[in-house]
């Protein structure tokens, strides 16, 4: 049984993961009201095996389809390398105090437009 506080919603959004030491490009694959899952294939990232350890905090920045930039403070909950040959890394993150702009974006995902 799922232990999530809110439902995941599929997306495909280019994003940037930043820390004081480095920045990485990735794709947000799904979001919930309190978390997100990303994939990155940064060669620099893959060489640094200590990156994205549980508990590490990063800023995640992305633009919504309407062009609004959202910045999230996130804490890594899990990460692992994926095939082929571990050239990509999946990262699950908890959003620390989701800002109102993100909550609104999340709630609007998948809403049907009335005619």
| Residue 87: domain span | 9-108
- Check residue 23 and give its pLDDT: 84
Does a structural domain hold residue 115?
no
Does a structural domain hold residue 99?
yes
Does a structural domain hold residue 33?
yes
pTM of the prediction? Answer: 0.83
Does a structural domain hold residue 114?
no
Kindly compute the dihedral angle of the four CA atoms of residues 102, 106, 2, 79, in this order, to the nearest 10 degrees: -50
User: Based on the structure, what is the number of domains in the chain?
Assistant: 1
Under the banding of pLDDT at 50, 70 and 90, the label for residue 5 is low
CATH of the domain at 73: 2.40.10.220
Q: What does the pLDDT average to over 71-81? A: 92
Give the model confidence (pLDDT) of 15-45 as tens digits: 999 988 888 889 999 999 999 999 987 665 5
């Amino acid at each position: 049984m799922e232990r999530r506080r809110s439902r995941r919603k599929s997306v495909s959004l280019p994003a940037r993961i930043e820390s004081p030491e480095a920045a990485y490009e990735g794709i947000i694959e799904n979001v919930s009201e309190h978390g997100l899952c990303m994939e990155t294939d940064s060669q620099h990232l893959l060489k640094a095996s200590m990156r994205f350890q549980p508990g590490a905090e990063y800023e995640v920045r992305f633009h919504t389809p309407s062009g609004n930039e959202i910045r999230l403070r996130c804490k890594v909950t899990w990460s692992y390398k994926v095939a082929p040959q571990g050239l990509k890394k999946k990262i699950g993150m908890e959003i620390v105090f989701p800002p109102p702009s993100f909550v609104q974006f999340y709630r609007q995902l998948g809403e049907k437009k009335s005619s």
